[in-house]
Amino acid sequence: MTTSPLADHLAALGLRHTAGHLDDLVAIATKKRLSPLELIESLVARESQHRAKQSLERRLARSRIGRFKPAADYEWNWPKRIDRDLVEAALRLEFLDGARNIVLVAPQGLGKTMLARNIAYQAVLAGHSVLFVTAAQLLLDLAGQESARALERRFRHYCRPTLLCLDEIGYLSYDARNADLLFQIISRRYEHKSIVMTTNLAFSDWPTIFPNATCATALIDRTVHHADVIAIEGDSYRRREAEADKKTRRGKRSA
């Protein structure tokens, strides 16, 4: 790494990539006989690319999307029912402009979380702030706050991103307190910022998630008012893969 006074000055100005690669950049400019204007354009282009890469890495880290299979690997012919056009429109982020929601409704093992992660990833690539969290994680976090001020800070944390992805709604049931907390998140983002949700239950079954909550109906209404609901029906991918793996192992033992 260059340690010349010029490199130090560049670093002090925030041009850290240029400072760190100054010797290489000067060598390239000399070899290609770049004019002063061409040299400046090259420096600006490289610095911009570096900053864009760093920004993407930061947004990805903050999004907590985790590892996932790309949408290109999704087997569209496996589900018995899926609106591919609606899914692909969601992957193009068409819903974000109108602060609409996406709700993926499917039994376990049909790829709803995979699709949600891909939507979230596309949003990060497009320059948006994203947060991916399970419903259980979000509610555990909110319910664990010990003061009204701390709770308000966490509300702002979940309402700040352009896109909030809530995964696995319906796998656990919650009390009225948790229902109220989730309603606060949905209400604060309502008509302002988008939410992507995944659930294994139809909306008619959502009262079973919050059996004693008076806000359950209002929660559902605000979720679906400006939403594309994508229902996926069929047999589990994971079950199919497990059965195929079992057959493979059985075949190896027989051989």
Same domain (yes/no): 77, 197: yes
Same domain (yes/no): 42, 95: no
CATH of residue 220's domain is: 3.40.50.300
Residue 153's Cβ-count burial label (10 Å; 0-12, 13-18, 19+) is exposed
pLDDT score of 249 more than 70: no
Same domain (yes/no): 17, 140: no
In the predicted model, what is the mean pLDDT of residues 49-56?
82
Nearest to 75 by CA among 234, 196, 193: 234
* Residue 74: partners with Cβ closer than 8 Å, 6 or more residues away: 111, 114, 115
Give the CA count within 13 Å in the CB-facing half-sphere of 76.
9
β strands within 49-105, DSSP E: 101-105
Same domain (yes/no): 59, 86: no
pLDDT score of 243 more than 70: no
Same domain (yes/no): 112, 211: yes
Same domain (yes/no): 39, 161: no
Same domain (yes/no): 113, 227: yes
Q: With respect to residue 255, please indicate whether it lies within any of the assigned structural domains.
A: no
User: What's at 19, amino acid-wise?
Assistant: A
- Host domain of residue 42: 5-63
Query: What backbone torsions phi and psi does residue 108 show, to the nearest 5 degrees?
Result: -65, 145
In the predicted model, what is the mean pLDDT of residues 64-92?
95
Same domain (yes/no): 107, 50: no
Same domain (yes/no): 156, 196: yes
Instruction: For the chain, give the mean pLDDT.
Output: 89
Q: Indicate the angle between helix axes 176-189 and 135-143, nearest 10 degrees.
A: 110
Same domain (yes/no): 183, 113: yes
Q: What is the pLDDT of residue 45?
A: 85
Distance separating alpha carbons of residues 107 and 103, to the nearest angstrom:
13
Same domain (yes/no): 120, 171: yes
Residue 180's Cβ-count burial label (10 Å; 0-12, 13-18, 19+) is middle
pLDDT score of 118 more than 90: yes
Tell me 201's DSSP state: S
Helix (H) or strand (E) holding 198: strand 194-199
Single pTM value for the model: 0.81
Q: Are 98 and 153 in contact (CB under 8 A)?
A: no
Span between the terminal Cα atoms of the chain, in Å:
58
Residue 75's Cβ-count burial label (10 Å; 0-12, 13-18, 19+) is exposed
Q: With respect to residue 216, please indicate whether it lies within any of the assigned structural domains.
A: yes
In the predicted model, what is the mean pLDDT of residues 19-39?
82
Q: Under DSSP, is residue 48 helix (H, G, I), strand (E, B) or coil?
A: helix
pLDDT score of 183 more than 60: yes
pLDDT score of 193 more than 60: yes
Q: With respect to residue 107, please indicate whether it lies within any of the assigned structural domains.
A: yes
Q: What is the pLDDT of residue 29?
A: 81
Q: With respect to residue 186, please indicate whether it lies within any of the assigned structural domains.
A: yes
Structure tokens of 41? 């354009």
Task: Specify which residues 164 forms β-bridges with.
Answer: 131, 195
pLDDT in tens, 155-177: 999 999 999 999 999 988 889 99
